[in-house]
Amino acid sequence: MTTTLSSARSRAAARPAPGKALLAPGAEVRLAMAVHRAGERPKNALPTLAVLGRSNVGKSSLLNALLGAKVAKVSQTPGRTQALYWYRVGDRFDVVDCPGYGYAKTGREKRESFEGLIESLLLGTSEGAGAAAALLLVDSRLEPQNSDLSMSLFLRESSVPSLVAATKWDAVKPSQRVRQLRTLAAAFAAPDRPLLPVSSETGENLPELARLLRAALTPSPKE
Ligand code: GDP
């Protein structure tokens, strides 16, 4: 194989960064399945985390930081059909990268396919259980967005335990942080639903987020 700088760069970037997989240190992360039809899932699904957010919220960056691997950004490629990308993390759990939402001009067909995929992932079907937990990402620089508020309400009404991470926290000026956090918490947090401001750029609060996610995904010991 001919080595070029650009092929070396993409291969280096694709290699998991050892010891940096915050969610499951040392675990192998692999793409188990790209799901295009509501209800499909890998065989022997493990406790599943659904990761949701508007397009451009910083989902790929956060997944890369949490999984310590370059998760493919295929979900964002224009023209691709929407899919749920199931990543298997060791033999411990599945993390599902859901399509970004929030484009004002999304057509009816696309919206319905998105809704079918997400509802069957979160709520489960006769083929399998729903998600063990959901991670909703909101952009910490913005006021609460309608599409995020709808997703938040849907999650609250489904009985899936959820956490909210406010992304790009490094980009919020220190003088605005208290006010912005209060606004985001009022819109999205609840007593059983923590909201954490995080930054994939600086790593702020990522270990705490990983800890909360592990706890949500680890079945509690039987009495
Ligand atoms: P996705 O479309 O939700 O997967 O978002 P990406 O991870 O591709 O990020 C979208 C944009 O936000 C890119 O320009 C990133 O560089 C930027 N971004 C992602 N995470 C952060 C962060 O923690 N801080 C800042 N300042 N920018 C970020």
pLDDT tens track for 83-106: 999 999 988 999 999 999 987 667
In a domain, 4, yes or no: no
The stretch 174-194 carries a mean pLDDT of 97
- Taking the C-alpha atoms of residue 187 and residue 182, their distance in angstroms, rounded to an integer, is 9
Q: How many Cβ atoms from other residues are within 10 Å of residue 61's Cβ? A: 16
**Is 57's C-beta closer than 6 angstroms to any atom of ligand 1?**
yes
> CA angle 48-106-151, nearest 5°?
40
**Residue 141: which of 50, 56, 52, 60 has the closest Cα?**
56
In a domain, 194, yes or no: yes
pLDDT tens track for 103-149: 766 788 888 889 999 999 999 988 788 999 999 999 999 999 999 99
In a domain, 3, yes or no: no
**Is 54's C-beta closer than 6 angstroms to any atom of ligand 1?**
no
In a domain, 180, yes or no: yes
In a domain, 10, yes or no: no
**Is 98's C-beta closer than 6 angstroms to any atom of ligand 1?**
no
Q: Which three-class secondary structure state does DSSP give residue 197?
A: strand
84 contacts 35 by C-beta, under 8 angstroms: yes
